[in-house]
Amino acid sequence: MDTTVALAQALIQRPSVTPEDAGCLGIIGERLAALGFTLEYMDAGDTRNLWARRGTGQPLFAFAGHTDVVPTGPEADWTHPPFAGHLADGMLHGRGAADMKGSLAAMVTACETFLAQHPAPSIDLALLLTSDEEGPATHGTRHVMDVLQARGEAIDWCLVGEPSSKSTLGDIARRGRRGSLNCTLRVNGKQGHVAYPHLALNPIHDVVAGLTRLSTTEWDQGNDHFPATTLQISNIHSGTGVTNVIPGSCEVKFNFRFNTEQTPEGLKAKAEACFDGAVADLAFDWNLSGHAFLTDGGPLAGALQQACQDVLGVTPDINTGGGTSDGRFIAPTGTDVVELGPINATIHQVDECVCADDLARLSTTYARILELMCV
């Protein structure tokens, strides 16, 4: 079995549902220590983090990724047990195969290949790994970056192994992501009998006009790098479950996916203004998951493109699509960030899987990127 596939299989067999690491970092750390990496565990809260670095100078190239996975749902729905790492017909099956234990394995074996050929490279290497990416993302990469910044340790280039590819390995890579801003709106009215509305204050009626304005506003038209900012109302909860009681409160959850035309502060102000004129007591609870970011990519983007052409025979579309990633915590420090990983067709789904040959080729591509960064 290919070494990258074997390592990915071993990682999949660890049930590391957020925020559990389940021993994945120990497996990876052992391989990295043998290559001369210094291992520093930066655990915080319920999260396991590993900062592994080889060398003490600059420039510094870092791989970044996460060992945690989303829940499987009913395991009986899976064709193969989700934590078995089953290999059949050229496909490696299991939760995390594509998102993103396959990428982690490719990072490790790429370092092994690269350092065997270049034992004294002109760049330092590091891996930033966490078990908190699929969850709140509070104690993971965000925490490690805070620690690194506090002691003046800078990353020049970072490759995040999120599954970016769509139809064929390497067809899409990222150099930026939209920001994500969440809000929980709590509306306090007055409960009453539906036959006597003048004695009550219906919180749903009171905010429906504001919700209409919120959902129909054009926030911007995007720009050369990002699509337009979008707003989605994801939850509305109110009432006692019966038809003859006016509810006393209502809770609404909504999310902005925003581009670099917007700031969180500006979006908050515009959104809250949509509810001007409401009579009920309104409370907005905002939570910023991450700012929008865009890096020029510099030599890293060029190396990624050249490596994909050399190894995979494709020229990647390097864009800013998709959701969010931990790149949002790394890019603001001035690091050039790109993302490249396996095909994402089955991520977070039942029967998640990845082509085994793709993992081997991804490892070779990562190693080629490292070579090109030394030129």
pLDDT averaged over every residue in the chain: 96
Spell out the residues 6+ positions from residue 356 whose beta carbon is closer than 8 angstroms to its own. 2, 5, 87, 90, 91, 92
- The pLDDT of residue 323: 81
- The pLDDT of residue 100: 97
> Mean pLDDT across the stretch 299-308?
96
- The pLDDT of residue 20: 96
Supply the CATH classification number for the domain 179-290. 3.30.70.360
Percent of the chain clearing pLDDT 70 (strictly above)? 99
Ranges of each domain in the chain: 3-177+292-373, 179-290
- The pLDDT of residue 205: 97
Residue 170 has pLDDT above 80, yes or no: yes
CA–CA distance, 203 with 197 (Å, rounded to integer): 12
Q: Please indicate if the annotation marks 348 as binding a ligand.
A: yes
Listed residue (371, 372, 370, 362) closest to 61, CA to CA = 370
- What's the whole-model pTM score? 0.89
At 54, give phi and psi (nearest 5°): -120, 110
Q: Please indicate if the annotation marks 80 as binding a ligand.
A: no
Spell out the residues 6+ positions from residue 208 whose beta carbon is closer than 8 angstroms to its own. none
Residue 85 has pLDDT above 90, yes or no: yes
Q: Please indicate if the annotation marks 99 as binding a ligand.
A: yes
- The pLDDT of residue 136: 87
Catalytic sites, residue numbers: 68, 133
For the chain, the maximum distance between any two Cα atoms, rounded to a whole number of angstroms, is 81
Q: How far is CA 192 from CA 6, 95, 139, 196, in A?
A: 63, 48, 44, 7
CA–CA distance, 310 with 292 (Å, rounded to integer): 31
Residue 324 has pLDDT above 90, yes or no: no
Percent of the chain clearing pLDDT 90 (strictly above)? 95
Residue 375 has pLDDT above 80, yes or no: no
Under a CB-based contact definition with an 8 Å cutoff, are residues 55 and 151 in contact? no
Q: How far is C-alpha 248 from the chain's CA centre? A: 37
Q: At what angle do helices 24-33 and 3-12 cross, to 10 degrees?
A: 150
Residue 74 CB-density burial (10 A; 0-12 exposed, 13-18 middle, 19+ buried): exposed
- Cβ neighbours, 10 Å, residue 270: 16
Give 288's pLDDT tier (boundaries 50, 70, 90). very high
Give 322's pLDDT tier (boundaries 50, 70, 90). confident
CA–CA distance, 13 with 71 (Å, rounded to integer): 14
Q: How far is C-alpha 92 from the chain's CA centre? A: 22
Q: Does domain 3-177+292-373 have CATH number 3.40.630.10?
A: yes
pLDDT digits (tens, 9 = 90+) for 185-202: 999 999 999 999 999 999
pLDDT digits (tens, 9 = 90+) for 195-235: 999 999 999 999 999 999 999 999 999 999 999 999 999 99
Give 335's pLDDT tier (boundaries 50, 70, 90). very high
pLDDT digits (tens, 9 = 90+) for 37-69: 999 999 999 999 999 999 999 999 999 999 999
- The pLDDT of residue 298: 85
Q: How far is CA 172 from CA 107, 114, 222, in A?
A: 18, 24, 20
Residue 296 has pLDDT above 90, yes or no: no
